[in-house]
Amino acid sequence: MGARVTTGRTLLAAVMGFGVALSAQAAEYPDIGPLPQLKIDKAKAELGKRLFFDKRLSGDAAVSCATCHVPEKGYASEEALSPGYPGNGHFRNASSLVNVAHRKVWNWDGRIGTNLNDMTREMLTEDYTMNMDMRIMQERVKQDPLYVKMFKDAGYGEPSNGSVRKAIPEYLKTLTSANAPFDTGKMSASAKRGMKLFKGKAGCIQCHNGPMMTDQKAHNTGVPENFDVFMDPMNHQAFIAFTMFQGIPNYMNLKRDPGYFNVTLLNEDMGKFLTPSLREVKYSAPYMHNGMIKTLAGVVDFYNQGGGKDSNKSKLLKPLKLSGKEKKDLVAFLEALSGDKLTSDKHVWKQPYPSEYEAIANWTEVRN
Amino acid sequence: MHLKKITLSLVAAAVATVFAGCQATAAKHEGAAAPTKMASAQMAMTPSGPPPLAPLGDAPIPPDNKLTPAKVELGKLLFFDPRVGGDASTGCSTCHEPEQGWAWAEDFSRGYPGTVHWRNSQSIINSAYFPRQFWAGSASSNEKQAKSAAKGGVAGNGEDDIMEARLALIPEYRKRFKEVFGTEWPIIDDVWHAIAAFERTMNTTGEHEVPLDKYLKGDKGALSEEQVRGMALFNGKAGCINCHNGELTSDTDYHNIGVPPNKRWEEDGLAQITFRFEQYAKGQTEEGYRNAKSDWGFYYRSKNKWDKGKFRTAPLRYIAYTAPYMHNGVFYTLEEVVDFYNRGGFDEEGRTTLFPETKSSLIKPLGLSDQEKEDLVAFLEAFSGPEIEMEKPEQPPYAPLFTMADLKAAQEAK
């Protein structure tokens, strides 16, 4: 699927073109601020919600999207490395999905730059996430009378794999920040001081800017490798399958996550990852593409020492010389970016799914 | 990740249909041009009638996949290893269970977790002799068959990249693939080569020879009197020899003998899902997908309407161990099968194929007496010898490819 990479490459390049002219002064970065409202089709989103929590959308009906994107954990996973589809592990941290619809580029390495429909397809079909033959998925959905009704009510007509990939993104649009002190103006004094540092002395704004607090560009911050990717064969096999499929040279000997290199195949992009959003970050520990940093205080320490060790590291990262108090303030600000947990049934499908597929009555008489 | 998982729109499916049709036609010529040596020899001996039953010779070995003991041993390990599949739960032996006739003892085979299959699991015993495999002959060799079994959504549901990655992390496999195929890392195509090599040794020859073959080679004591009477019926009044003939007990051709659809499709939601999926997977047109209510068999390959409901003449050796019978497992005993033929291709409720127009003219009521039916069943039992048993090999373990020292050095060098 070379086409997927090319799409990612082209679009990401376009997004990146944006920031180039901006100077290094904080004032000139797109300001952090409230997120724009998204228009949501209720019936479609409701359908997407039921699909998101339904294990029958994976090949062996053992995992749903929510297995790795856990509502309680900011729609991320509490493990450093995401769980995998049964029989596999994973080589990256499961991204938080809160506000994901506000992004233009997805995955830690930015390999998808089209839309959430493609992103959903990737999650459904990839061997080590859901390993779903979407033709089987479509027939499973058609076998569930409630889905048949919900697809109809949503205006999709007969259930199809195409409308599954539309309904889930509609649901993802509902996962947006609510009542974060940062948005409601109810930040503590410490958080307010932290915000000042964020925009000033600590220089976070250089990359974490705009309403989503991300430039959606790739940077190398020198996060150390998570050796569990390679020492646990379950994770390593997923990593090998991924790099093999992506056409990364010498993938059997690779001992690091290539990151954005995967998109451009340029050496200068080795070890770069997309700047993540910082909204709702309180809930989605551990942090970074491989979960190597356990707490927000740990992240701040990491930046305070100028990031990690990598010859390719971003020039924007330097030791910050923050005092103990300043570090606390910065953490308080990061925490103030998180609002209500999205764990009520407004966002979570809590009704049980049928344990068996009902047979279609009069099967010989009705059209398939 | 692979494209097959992205549903074609029905229009695209219809285009694919035409393409698949061409392939099937070409493949059929191929098959017709290369009958087994034995079968052609017999054809010459009896120009007027079907070739008589003949003892099973050696399995044909393709020149590009020679058998070596090391390759066969590797193939055996892989055949029993569920990591050759999607979630590492369902390997070849999962549905071809040695204790269930190297098949699966339910009407529909068990499926990949979360699914059920839509056809009966065939025994792998003697499969190597067939120019085309599967009930409707959709694979042209054991190699191609193994590949499609490991990848099919209701069978292995595995993808090449993940299966290859797993094998690379199992030192025992790295060693064996290198020995057998000379590659540094296991290559997925060689998995199919090795499994096919193993299957080519899984035959009813040698110590597993069946009584019928002993008899045909001159051991007149190998069959009972009853069985000898049954043989006469098989070759005469019952007309079985018209299709079950020659060395393979099969003309390797496709016929509609009147097998009725399995009623499970009317009652079992999971089976209905697979049924519709298979219509897609086999390249049905929109109309076909909407209307199909039974397995169209050979039609999926040829796309000729006169091929609806046709299946490959099933071989008869080893069937004592492989109940239930037919492509959809509707008959659980050989008695039921004989009754079905005796009624001219109807089950006990009078059900038959949904495609009476393509039904073979060779299938008609036989007028067998009870005694004759018993004799025929007794003869069918002579197609099976000792059970082929095998202890399941242990799965070689995974091990990390790198050491901590390797990884730390790489980290330092960044």
Same structural domain, B83 and B152: yes
Q: What is the mean pLDDT of residues A32-52?
A: 95
Task: Kindly state whether B166 is in contact with chain A, defined as any CB-CB distance less than 8 angstroms.
Answer: yes
- CB-defined contacts A:B, below 8 A: 188
Domain housing B6:
2-56+207-381
Overall number of domains in chain B:
2
pLDDT at B402: 98
Q: Mind listing the pLDDT tens digit for each residue in B209-233?
A: 999 999 999 999 999 999 999 999 9
176-215 in A: which are within 8 Å (CB) of B?
Answer: none
Same structural domain, B301 and B359: yes
Task: Kindly state whether B83 is in contact with chain A, defined as any CB-CB distance less than 8 angstroms.
Answer: yes
Average pLDDT, chain A: 92
Q: What is the mean pLDDT of residues B237-265?
A: 97
The answer to whether A81 touches A89, Cβ cutoff 8 Å, is yes
Task: Kindly state whether B266 is in contact with chain A, defined as any CB-CB distance less than 8 angstroms.
Answer: yes
Same structural domain, B260 and B343: yes
Same structural domain, B186 and B278: no
User: Residue B162: its chain A contacts at CB < 8 A?
Assistant: 88, 127-128, 237-238, 241
Residue B204 DSSP symbol: S
Same structural domain, A205 and A66: no
Same structural domain, B133 and B224: no
What is the CA B147 to chain-centroid distance, rounded? 13
User: Residue B174: its chain A contacts at CB < 8 A?
Assistant: none
Token pair for A337: 């970016």
Same structural domain, A72 and A93: yes
Q: Where are the alpha helices (DSSP H) in B152-220?
A: 160-168, 171-181, 188-199, 211-216
DSSP, residue by residue, A306-354: TS---TT--TT-------HHHHHHHHHHHHHT----S-STTTS--SPPP
CATH number of the domain at A85, please.
1.10.760.10
Q: Mind listing the pLDDT tens digit for each residue in B41-89?
A: 344 444 578 999 999 999 999 999 999 999 999 999 999 999 999 999 9
d(CA A224, CA A301) in angstroms, rounded, equals 14
**Structural domain includes residue B284:** yes
**Structural domain includes residue A361:** no
**Structural domain includes residue B253:** yes
pLDDT at A27: 62
pLDDT at A28: 82
**Structural domain includes residue A362:** no
Residue carrying the six token digits 């309904």: A167
Q: What is the mean pLDDT of residues A352-368?
A: 96
Q: Output the pTM of the full model.
A: 0.92
ipTM of predicted assembly, 2 dp = 0.91
Residue carrying the six token digits 């809590």: A350
Of A303, A300, A306, nearest to A319 (Cα)? Answer: A306
Domain housing A19:
9-36+180-335
Overall number of domains in chain A:
2
Average pLDDT, chain B: 90
The answer to whether A263 touches A9, Cβ cutoff 8 Å, is yes
Same structural domain, A61 and A155: yes
CB contact under 8 A, A140 and B265: no
Closest to B112 (Cβ–Cβ): which among A59, A232, A309?
A59
**Best mutation target, A127, A128, A353, to test chain B (most B CBs within 10 A):** A127
Of A56, A82, A50, A80, nearest to A69 (Cα)? Answer: A82
Closest to A224 (Cβ–Cβ): which among B2, B166, B411?
B411
d(CA A303, CA A188) in angstroms, rounded, equals 23
Residue A249 DSSP symbol: T
Closest to B269 (Cβ–Cβ): which among A143, A222, A309?
A143
> Last residue of a domain, which of B199, B218, B251?
B199
User: Residue B158: its chain A contacts at CB < 8 A?
Assistant: 127
A200 to chain B, closest Cα gap in Å: 30
Residue B273 DSSP symbol: H
d(CA B60, CA B77) in angstroms, rounded, equals 22
Q: Mind listing the pLDDT tens digit for each residue in B309-359?
A: 999 999 999 999 999 999 999 999 999 999 999 999 999 999 999 999 999
User: Residue B159: its chain A contacts at CB < 8 A?
Assistant: 127, 131, 241
**Residue B243, pLDDT above cutoff 70:** yes
